[in-house]
Amino acid sequence: MPKRRIFGNRQPNASSTNGSETDEKNRDLGFGTSISAKNRRLINQDGSFNIRRVGQRIQDIHPFQFLVTISWWEFALCVLVAYLLFNTVFAFLYLMAGVEQLSGGEDLITWLDRFMYAFFFSVQTFTTVGYGTVSPVGLSVNIIAAFEAMTGLLGFAVATGVLMGRFSQPSAKIGFSDQILIAPYTHAEEGAINSLQFRIVNRRINQLIDLEVMVVMRYYNKVNGKEKQDFRQLNLERDKVKLFPLTWTIVHPITQDSPLHGCTSEELAYKHTEFLITLKGYDETFAQHVHARMSYRYDEMIWGAKFVKVFHEMEEGPIELQVDKVSLCEKAELNAY
């Protein structure tokens, strides 16, 4: 087997200063170096970290943060469960106090009928609807109903605040190309070389400005007989744009200083290489910064391809951007090293 090169040992030329010192100081990224699950990506394609937390205590969970960050179907399920649970608890309290203290409840015979009668009275009280068909007539039931009405008002106030927090939470909907490409590229100093490329587009109609991107290559090296993961921040053709109205193809020129120079697909697979991408931009709608994350693995690379333009200039009217074709590419001849 041919000797494998160690990416982290390649030293940049003295003329290469863009990110080299920062790269040495910030090689970890917070993932550490001792993770040994090579086939497991660090960042999922939806931007979440591929990490499951265990051993948390109840007091570690912040209710508002939990309800704002879970998915919409999980949030709807939590609201439904809480709604049914509260009304069930108060229905049992009415049963304990005596359902005959509710107008019309004295004629009910079966336990199920009495429970359903108390449950729907609880719903009317909890939501402060009060149709008027059922009313409390006893002291104990009136006390329970008064307490439930207060609980209902507070509960709906909290639910409204959480719902508003979910709707007003700023987030970026960045569309990433399905694959990352090794494409031909013309460098200002080195001429015809190759490059690492992927493309992004804003899938929403909001305006993002001051967009910044960072690409870090994660791979495995054998150090003192043990395999450890390492990180190298890749120098980009452009890592910032002021405006983001169309697509943006992020390019890493594979120069002699690049850790990808001379690499083959087999070598990247042997090192279980993953490219970690972080994006930060300013959303004019929310007047806040938004973030997006993505990663590509070595088996999600296309060698010898280039992206196809997905916006068209019409004779009249605005430029037409085909957002759903951000991954469209075609074959291209790579340059020889």
Mind listing the pLDDT tens digit for each residue in 316-329?
778 888 899 999 99
Residues 6+ apart with CB under 8 A from 289: 170, 280, 281, 282, 283
Q: Residues 126-137: what's their mean pLDDT?
A: 85
**pLDDT higher than threshold 60 for residue 281:** yes
d(CA 87, CA 202) in angstroms, rounded, equals 44
pLDDT of residue 11: 43
**pLDDT higher than threshold 70 for residue 18:** no
Higher pLDDT, 276 or 4: 276
Q: Residues 256-284: what's their mean pLDDT?
A: 91
Condensed to tens digits (0 to 9), the pLDDT of residues 40-76 reads: 777 777 777 777 777 777 777 788 888 888 889 999 9
- Map tokens 């909001």 to a residue: 206
Angle between helices 139-168 and 111-126 (to 10 degrees): 60
pTM: 0.74
pLDDT of residue 14: 38
3-state secondary structure of 181: strand
pLDDT of residue 39: 64
CB 149 within 8 A of CB 87: no
d(CA 231, CA 234) in angstroms, rounded, equals 10
The H or E element that residue 152 is part of is helix 139-168
pLDDT of residue 28: 59
Find the angle CA(281)-CA(219)-CA(27) to the nearest 5 degrees: 55
